């Protein structure tokens, strides 16, 4: 077939595509396959249950606002450990009890004074890392993945825009490669997955109610058959950012 005829046919196809917006033209079959795969994934996402943002009990946003306000008035960015603990507990988040020791001898003395037993670690379990950062376009973004010492070696993370729904929290955990450890790997007792989901939902509620929380890093969050416990956390606060320019993109 003459070259001119080939060009004419392509021009006809392109013009037809402009007249009918539902048609697309691709230079290579690989591009068409990728576009079809994206459309298929989008269709499955549209069909998934939307879920709901649950109403959580045991939250004290007024007290949390006071903690944040005092820190900002002092010119702080990273909260002190006592304020971190206070803020997390305002939203019912399970933070391990801690005491700050100025030197290596103080923990022994503290144990003697309390006449109790002390431990340097939390209950054994699966270590996760949960964090929140503010994106300029989408607002607070929550991430969950492998935590503890494995966080540097494993790229295993799930990300969602807040506010998280109950479906979001469940999907985040189940999309991780580490979920098999939570679910009882090789006969080990399964962790309390619902407790971990509750941690995700409460962190989402915290940052949604207080946009001054610019960054939050909880690592590790230890999941076990008995529940979930935040062992360590850092929180950075700043003046509330400008509202996201695309609010319709957030749930």
Query: What pLDDT, on the 0 to 100 scale, is given for residue 137?
Result: 83
58 contacts: CB under 8 Å, gap ≥ 6: 91, 92
Could you give all domains of the chain from N- to C-terminal order, each with its CATH number? 3-46 (no CATH), 61-249 (3.30.470.20)
What percentage of residues in the chain have a pLDDT greater than 70?
Answer: 74
What are the tens digits of pLDDT across the range 147-190?
866 555 567 899 999 999 999 999 999 999 989 999 988 878 89
Measured distance CA(160)–CA(141) in Å, rounded: 6
Indicate the pLDDT class of residue 123, thresholds 50, 70 and 90.
low
What are the tens digits of pLDDT across the range 219-240?
999 999 999 999 999 999 999 8
- How, if at all, do strands 126-135 and 139-146 pair? antiparallel
Closest-CA residue to 95 (of 199, 213, 230): 230
């Amino acid at each position: 077939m003459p070259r001119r005829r080939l060009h004419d046919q392509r021009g006809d196809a392109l013009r037809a595509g402009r007249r009918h917006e539902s048609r697309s033209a691709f230079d290579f079959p690989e591009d068409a396959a990728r576009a079809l795969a994206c459309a298929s994934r989008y269709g499955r996402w549209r069909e998934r249950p939307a879920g709901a943002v649950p109403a959580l009990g045991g939250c004290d946003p007024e007290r949390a606002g006071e903690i944040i306000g005092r820190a900002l008035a002092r010119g702080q960015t990273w909260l002190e450990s006592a304020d971190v603990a206070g803020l997390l507990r305002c939203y019912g988040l399970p933070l391990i009890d801690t005491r700050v020791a100025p030197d290596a001898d103080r923990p022994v003395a503290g144990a003697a004074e309390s006449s109790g037993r002390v431990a340097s670690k939390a209950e054994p379990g699966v270590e996760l890392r949960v964090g929140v950062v503010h994106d300029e376009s989408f607002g607070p973004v929550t991430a969950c993945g492998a935590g503890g010492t494995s966080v540097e070696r494993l790229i295993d993370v799930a990300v969602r825009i807040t506010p998280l729904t109950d479906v979001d929290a469940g999907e985040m955990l189940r999309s991780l490669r580490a979920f098999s450890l939570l679910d009882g790997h090789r006969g080990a007792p399964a962790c309390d997955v619902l407790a971990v989901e509750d941690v995700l939902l409460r962190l989402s509620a915290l940052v949604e109610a207080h946009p001054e929380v610019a960054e939050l890093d909880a690592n590790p969050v230890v999941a076990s058959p008995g529940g979930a416990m935040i062992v360590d956390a850092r929180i950075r606060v700043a003046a509330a950012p400008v509202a996201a320019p695309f609010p319709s993109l957030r749930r």
